[in-house]
Amino acid sequence: MDDGTLERRDGRWQLHFTRRLAHPPEKVWRALTEPEHLAVWFPTTIEGERAAGAPLRFAHRDAAAPAIEGEMLAYDPPRLLELRWGEGETLRFELRTADGGTVLSFVNTFDQVGKAARDAAGWHACLDVLAYHLDGVRPPWTPGERWSEVHQGYVERLGPEAAAIGPPKR
């Protein structure tokens, strides 16, 4: 699976991931937007209308964690999905057809560089689970185990500034 990269753009930080998936964009789109698929790979539920401008609520499966408010910034099936996640953080998923499958480009934009390694490992694990789910196969690890496997690599590649905020609470 492809590692994410970090860059600074317009005064903000962006994690970039690209995944080549052996499935048509319509199937990948369903996995990005339908609750029964999101429950497998995305870290929260997403409540709200699937339409640009709609308010969203991201509820953690652990009820003890507070829900995150957001907004559907772009919804253009099966090509573009962009969400505001909390205060100013965005998640952008772009799909394009390539070689009989789909190229998924994912960008997470945020302000605090100190969480970059933690979040890169998290999105890396989520996107790995998504790929397995699309293939109809159960991953050989849990998302938490996968996070642990890849986190140190992100700390080393992105540097200490990007690792100032530690692992998520489990």
The amino acid sitting at 59 is A
Query: What pLDDT is recorded for position 2?
Result: 80
Question: In sequence order, what are the residues at sequence separation of 6 or more whose Cβ sits closer than 8 angstroms to the Cβ of residue 118?
Answer: 151, 163, 165, 166, 167, 168
Question: What is the pLDDT, as a whole number, of residue 62?
Answer: 76
pLDDT given at position 64 = 78
Would 165 be classed as within a structural domain? Answer: no
- Provide the token pair at 66: 């507070």
The boundaries of the domain holding residue 129 are 5-156
| Residue 164 covered by a domain | no
Q: Residue 36 falls within a domain, yes or no?
A: yes
Is residue 130 in some structural domain? yes
- Tell me how far apart the alpha carbons of residues 104 and 29 are, in angstroms, rounded to a whole number: 10
Residue 64 domain-assigned (yes or no):
yes
170 part of a folded domain: no
pLDDT at residue 88, rounded to an integer: 87
Residue 99 covered by a domain: yes
Residue 137 within any structural domain of the chain: yes
* CATH number, domain with residue 71: 3.30.530.20
Residue 127 burial (10 A CB sphere; 0-12, 13-18, 19+): buried
Angle between helices 116-135 and 25-33 (to 10 degrees): 120
Identify the CA nearest to 8 among candidates 113, 87, 143, 151.
113
pLDDT at 115: 96
Count of the separate structural domains present in the chain: 1
Q: Average pLDDT of each block of 10 consecutive residues along the chain (170 residues)?
A: 90 98 98 97 95 96 86 98 94 97 98 97 98 98 95 95 81
pLDDT value at residue 169: 64
- How many CB atoms neighbour CB 12 within 10 A? 15
